[in-house]
Amino acid sequence: MNRRDALRKTGLLAGSAVAAPSLLSLLQACNQTPRLNWTPIFLDENQATFISSFVDTILPKTETPGALDVKTDIFLDLVYAKTYSPEGQAKVKADIDQFNADCKAKYGKVFAELSKEDKTACLKDHEANTATFNRGVWGTAVGEQKPVGFYRQLKSQALWAYFSSEEIGKNVLNYDPIPGEYLGCIPVSDVGKAWSL
């Protein structure tokens, strides 16, 4: 090996040692950037990213599919687009923007860009400081319902969309499209999982 080749290889080695941490941090930053893999029909991209991040945080993938696996975020976008009045649509967008603004004020970033720990802390804070839905009897709320706010409404909608999906209804919950015989006196242990309707 001549002197020129040795200097060139030494320069390359030194350059890669200096550049490697920068490249690694760049790759890690790309992995943490939330991205949509669907095109919203009602929400803008930032709002849709918020919805995706929100439903993924409360219903992550475990041994069962997560909210994103059953397209809960896409379904909610469709519900907002097709069933909400113009006033309701404007309120949803304003509420999402306000939620993100509150996150930015408290944590320095919008919800979708927060760390897992900060997302959890944010949701716990909202859980503790917002009104809840009244208990119901046979699907009807008991007593006068106080306004529950955006967080509680979105959480309720996300749970409804998730448990109403075909994947969860057929493969996670018990599913029987035509109920069988009535067995009124059986041990609770024989009942098993909750039934999908």
Give residue-wise pLDDT tens across range 5-33: 554 555 545 554 444 444 344 333 333 44
Q: pTM for this one?
A: 0.69
**Alpha helices (H) in the chain, listed in sequence order:** 3-32, 45-58, 72-83, 86-107, 116-129, 149-164, 166-171
Average pLDDT, the chain: 81
Distance from C-alpha of 72 to C-alpha of 59, rounded to nearest angstrom: 10
Give residue-wise pLDDT tens across range 111-163: 999 999 999 999 999 988 887 877 777 767 777 777 788 999 999 999 999 99
User: Which residue type, as a one-letter code, is found at position 7?
Assistant: L
Three-state DSSP at 195 gives strand
